[in-house]
Amino acid sequence: MDFLYSLTVATALLFVLSLLSNILNFFSIPLFIIGGILLQPLLSDTLNIISIPAQLGLLLLLFYIGFEISPIRYLKNIRKVLYDGSIDLIFAFILPLIITFAFVREIKFALFLSALLYVSSSAINLKIIVDSKFAIYSFAEKAINIALFQDLLVSFFIIILPLFFVEFKSTSLFLSLSNVFIFGVFLNIIYFLLKYTRDFINRSSDETIILLSFAAMIFSSYISSKLINSEAMGAFIAGSVIKATGYRIDIKRAFAPIKDIFSPFFFLYFGLNIKIGFVLDQWLIIILTVLIAVISKYLVSYLLYPQKTSSLFRNLLFGLLTIRGEFSIVLAAISINYLDEKSFALISVISTAIIFVNIIIGLSLIRVFEKKLRLKNL
């Protein structure tokens, strides 16, 4: 298939889906995935070509997550973050993990499934909190505390899970452990190189700094894919390292347009690879999982707002927590390295169903209940 023709078809499709999301006032991520699923027969020839921008999109998303996560953010509200986050962790992660493991008896599958059920979309939540003027209310603070706690857990999933499940290419345990050690040494070298050349690099042009950051992301992903079979971890850690280096330009802002171009390709490619035919007979599990995703977040909202008088805030917190987004899809995509074909097909269908259904439920709740707050605003 012609390279430019494939890219033309894919970008045109992404543009139409993005436009549709604006018209429907709905988030674009589920539409990109659904678009990919529906157009599988038409775009099957373009898969190899789309996979290149899609992989860059995934790396950029992970680089961004690594860039965003900063332990300093937790220090000021540490008690509240730990309290709200722990309730969410117990009822929205550990409980589903136990239930899933009891049914499937497969720890990798249960861990990835519970992880993508658990993680709400902090990006969507923050946008809603600012746009709907929720910041003055305590439920918004709780939603942010939970999002912060989840950020830590996402780091855990991205860094620890690949190490935990890594199927090393070498057969000897000694060589496998050496790979992990070499990767650690490599990261330290990169960090010190970037840190000690910072002043020199800071005197260079913006273009040089952006290219160096991009190269660090790609190189780190390459090394981690070769050593520990997880390019995700390399991109994620590169984000944290570049942030700690402290370049004079705002890398996050500089990378935003690149991420906005490539991440839709990742979601489209994810949709194109979903094999619904593989999991049609498992429709009951899919429905039950979507239900668990909703019920667990209601339980968390109820425990944080048990009084009858605060039902309005409970419903709004429930609305915010219910919404899942890019994190769930990223985790589902990472699981491809660790699960068999059928389990990955199930995980990808479940993650798509969860974000689609939960965004609808979450947004509907917020739109219904926020009116009660707006009436009071002067």
Partner 1 sequence: MNESELPGVGTKYWKKLENGTTLTIIRHDSGRFEIAYSGQESEIPEYYSEVTEEEAIEIGSVLAQKVHQKIVEKMDILVKNLIIEWFKVPSGYESRTIGDIQIRKKTGVSVVAILREKETIPGPGPQDNILPQDVLLIVGKKESIEAFKRLFSN
Q: Which of 28, 24, 21, 8 is CA-nearest to residue 266? A: 28
Indicate the residue among 118 and 313 with the shorter CB distance to partner 1: 313
Q: Which is nearer to partner 1, 139 or 265 (CB)?
A: 139
Give one DSSP letter per residue of 83-148, joined into a string. Answer: HHHHHHHIIIIIHHHHHHHHHH--HHHHHHHHHHHH---HHHHHHHHHHTT-TTSHHHHHHHHHHH
* Closest listed residue to residue 69, CA positions, set 147, 181, 171: 147
CB of 67 to partner 1, least distance (A): 13
CA–CA distance, 375 with 148 (Å, rounded to integer): 30
Q: Which residues bind partner 1 (CB under 8 A)?
A: 73, 76-77, 80, 122, 126, 129-130, 133, 135-138, 140-141, 144, 147-148, 199, 202-203, 246, 248-250, 312-313, 373, 376-378
Residue 243 C-beta: closest distance to partner 1, Å: 14
In angstroms, how far apart are the furthest CA atoms of the chain? 69
Two structure tokens written together for 219 = 């190189």
As measured in angstroms, the least distance from the Cβ of 376 to partner 1 is: 5
CB closer to partner 1, 53 vs 362: 362
Measure the N-to-C terminal CA separation of the chain; round to a whole number of Å. 59
Q: What is the closest distance, in whole angstroms, from the C-beta atom of residue 276 to partner 1 in the complex?
A: 35
Q: Which is nearer to partner 1, 105 or 253 (CB)?
A: 253
Residue 344: CB minimum distance to partner 1, A: 32
Q: Least distance to partner 1 from the beta carbon of 169, Å? A: 39
Q: Please, which residue, 167 or 199, has the CB nearer to partner 1?
A: 199
Separation between Cα atoms, residue 111 and residue 59, nearest integer Å: 22
Task: Provide the token pair at 41.
Answer: 């027969």
Q: What are phi and psi for residue 25, nearest 5 degrees?
A: 55, 45
Minimum CB distance to partner 1 smaller for 23 or for 72: 72
